[in-house]
Structure 1
Amino acid sequence: MTDAPAHGFDTLQIHAGARPDPATGARQTPIYQTTAYVFRDADHAAALFNLQEVGFIYSRLTNPTVAVLQERIATLEGGVGAVCCSSGHAAQIMALFPLMMPGNNVVVSTRLYGGTVTQFTHTIKRFGWNAKFVDFDDLDAVKAACDDQTRAVFCEAIANPGGYITDLDAISAIADEAGVPLIVDNTSATPYLCRPIEHGATLVVHSTTKYLTGNGTVTGGCVVDSGKFDWSASDKFPSLSAPEPAYHGLKFHETFGALAFTFHGIAIGLRDLGMTMNPQAAHYTLMGTETLSLRMDRHVENAMKIAEWLENDPRVDYVTYAGLKSSPYNKRVEKICPRGAGGLFTFAVKGGYEACVKLVNSLEIFSHVANLGDTRSLIIHSASTTHRQLTEEQQVAAGAAPEVVRVSIGTENADDLIADLDQALAKATA
């Protein structure tokens, strides 16, 4: 559990959760590369397995390196606890797992990462769950989509790929009225630019692969628990409010209070789904978080400069960056993301699909990869890659139309990036 932050973000991103190693005095968090931990005695082991004592049993469940990262991300997000796992996709399943039963649904935004759209359209049906896709700018439609079987509302703070900003306050009010948690994917914004819990989110999920790590080395995910939802207010969430057979009838919410979701995520979610983050990945991500604010400031600065340049280029049809005054989402920046609109957006190339392909193939500094949030500037043509499995209608709804490319602006020299785009656009539209 994390205490209320007593320090600024720049300090917390370095120190939260980390203490000198008690055995060696090592200042950087060690990589505890071990599968299991020796119990003091039989009573100690029994207490751990009964959830009567907090400690380390087996690294599928808990690991000291991962525990530091969990505390750090929870602190930065303003949550009470967090569970790290193997990827952002794993984090989404981990977030839904305690909430959903066969026949239940989740109301989700149409503006989501393509892999998430596929996961919610097809994969979760194998659990007997369903997703209702709604334009989250249409608040009446979101409200109408919530029914007796709805167990969560899901959106992205800054939507991938378009960089659209969600009105989290309005959406959280709808979720509250429906008596269900709001889950916000904060990957593209990070807690430096946006803190969804302050806007009513119950749970926050991350692909730590992206900005939190920032160097393109490891995959990971995280679910942050706000600790503010009353899981016992209705009979909708029996996994958290009703007796748990695997723990002799223990009731997670009654026993653990604000930390009920976090303890369930470890004791049930990681135990049974096994979506574990390895300690090496946690170590790389911990090092990445230490420079998060510095990097995000540069991402935002570069993105703004490049978006303005692209918007004024006759070879470009439109730019979706919310930081631009022309964006319909610009008015939400100050409220939802007061430090800036992030480093992710799309732009449409005149010449359509083929021009986009030529553009991608002509760039020299930008890397053509299926990732975002790196210090390196990245580009991808979503319609032929990350959103390829979607229909054209779904692609357009998600902001990944055939004539659109997505850019993740890095921390390089902005003038160099503009020059690279300039020469590639010349070739693409010749």
Structure 2
Amino acid sequence: MNDRIPGFSTLAVHAGAQPDPTTGARATPIYQTTSFVFNDADHAASLFGLQAFGNIYTRIGNPTNAVLEERVAALEGGTAALAVASGHAAQVIVLQQLLKPGDEFVAARKLYGGSINQFTHAFKSFGWNVVWADTDEPSSFERAVSPRTKAVFIESVANPGGTITDIEAIASVARNAGVPLIVDNTLATPYLIRPIDHGADIVVHSLTKFLGGHGNSLGGIIVDAGTFDWSKGDKYPMLSEPRPEYHGIRIQETFGNFAFAIACRVLGLRDLGPALSPFNAFLILTGIETLPLRMQKHCDNAKAVAEFLAGHPAVAAVSYAGLPGDKYNNLARKYAPKGAGAVFTFNLKGGYQAGVNLVSNLKLFSHLANVGDTRSLVIHPASTTHSQLDDAAKVKAGAGPDVVRLSIGIEDKEDLIADLEQALTA
């Protein structure tokens, strides 16, 4: 067994965890503490100087969180990870290491509406500028690159439409530009797609969604692939230049293939402070234990529901990459052969008002702004998550006025179909 590489389901249960050495507790304990006692003055100094690994203060690291970080890094095939308070916090921490005021990053137009808003508006106050590109045309990423570009950002499975991104094609663009590819893998999870295997340098997640899986805890995570040379070309001074706050050490030189994860922790999380609660880390860890079982059920149910909707007279179109003939079906078979995910959209013939009426008439589906729950969820993006966009931008983001987004849960598929049938009839 020592020579065997554990399978995905085994890692989902065991990676990063050991019985508690003091009590023998099998479940990872919740270390609900703000701070940790040092052995002596020299021990404290070595921790603060990054000369030794250990616990100082829960804003920077915590033993419960550390198990979560090691587990997700193992599932994604990365070298290290950092857990933070939310998916949005993960994006801020990542880009803070890469961008200075006036720098740019290229991002896919097909993104979660909150990310579009964050990139377009909130990041302007940092002097970070987004340039948009179209994942359906990977060459548009190449055209968007400029001397100021410091990163490329995509989603493996785009929210809200569930479209599949050609990761390898865009990774090639990023590699030729000499910048890292950041992939938000929230909707796919590593059970369906491992972006690092396809050229990603950094992976981020909203742990709130499928990894936690139960709609009870906010969280985010950053996974370092360990594949990018941060010293090349002096583009990334946070990692390549001496850090005055740590006696002049160079993060990349000192920490090698997990340098980016360390920089995110000691230069980002330490100072910006979006720490993940150990209690939330515990709940998310518990959710990850059943990730393979849940994701397969999510995908199987989603395909059945999509097939039903595709044949319904009130539905104009269904965007689900798992359907034969869908525009993204070939990419789904290449990147996500176990299933095309559980989040997708469909268009109603009655337009905006039909979308509003549908979400009002569903009874089993919960009408709320989340995805990745065990429960099935529904939302009308044009009136909610994407309402800040103008109509043209909504359509580009896959959230036009007639679009309804579903996040399919793990209930019996027959019950989900029956609920949609009665609501469409009503």
2:136 counterpart SS class: coil
Counterpart of 1:267 in structure 2 is 266
CA distance in 1, matches of 2:391, 2:185: 26
2:182 counterpart SS class: strand
CA distance in 2, matches of 1:269, 1:24: 34
Amino acid at match of 1:10: S
Task: Please show how residues 217-232 of structure 1 align to structure 2 within 5 Å.
Answer: 217-232=216-231
Amino acid at match of 2:425: A
1:5 CA displacement: 8.2
Amino acid at match of 1:295: R
State the Cα deviation string for residues 134-158 of structure 1 (Å, max 9, x = none): 1121122110101110000001000
CA distance in 1, matches of 2:338, 2:391: 34
- 1:364 and 2:363 aligned: yes
CA distance in 2, matches of 1:68, 1:92: 21
Amino acid at match of 1:47: S
Counterpart of 1:199 in structure 2 is 198
State the Cα deviation string for residues 210-264 of structure 1 (Å, max 9, x = none): 0001100010000000001000111110100111111111100011101111111
- 1:335 and 2:338 aligned: no
Structure 1: 4+ residue segments shifted above 4 A: none
Counterpart of 2:291 in structure 1 is 292
Q: 1:328 to 1:114 in 2, by over 3 A?
A: same
CA distance in 1, matches of 2:357, 2:87: 30
1:112 counterpart SS class: coil
CA distance in 1, matches of 2:208, 2:218: 4
CA distance in 2, matches of 1:139, 1:218: 35
Check the 8 A contact 1:29/1:283 in 2, yes or no: yes
- 1:88 and 2:87 aligned: yes
1:391 CA displacement: 1.1
1:4 CA displacement: 11
- Structure 2, unaligned stretches of length 5 or more? none
Check the 8 A contact 1:242/1:251 in 2, yes or no: yes
Q: Identity percentage over the alignment?
A: 56
Counterpart of 1:39 in structure 2 is 38
Counterpart of 2:108 in structure 1 is 109
Amino acid at match of 2:119: F
State the Cα deviation string for residues 368-417 of structure 1 (Å, max 9, x = none): 01000000000000011000111111110110001001000000000110
Q: TM-score, normalised by structure 2?
A: 0.99
Task: Please show how residues 127-138 of structure 1 align to structure 2 within 5 Å.
Answer: 127-138=126-137
- 1:162 and 2:156 aligned: no
- 33-42 or 333-342, which deviates more: 333-342
1:326 CA displacement: 2.0
Alignment: residue pair count: 425
Amino acid at match of 2:339: G
Check the 8 A contact 1:5/1:75 in 2, yes or no: no
Amino acid at match of 1:125: K
2:183 counterpart SS class: strand
Amino acid at match of 1:331: N
CA distance in 2, matches of 1:73, 1:95: 17
Counterpart of 1:22 in structure 2 is 21
Counterpart of 1:302 in structure 2 is 301
Counterpart of 2:54 in structure 1 is 55
Amino acid at match of 1:66: N
- Structure 1, unaligned stretches of length 5 or more? none
Check the 8 A contact 1:4/1:78 in 2, yes or no: no
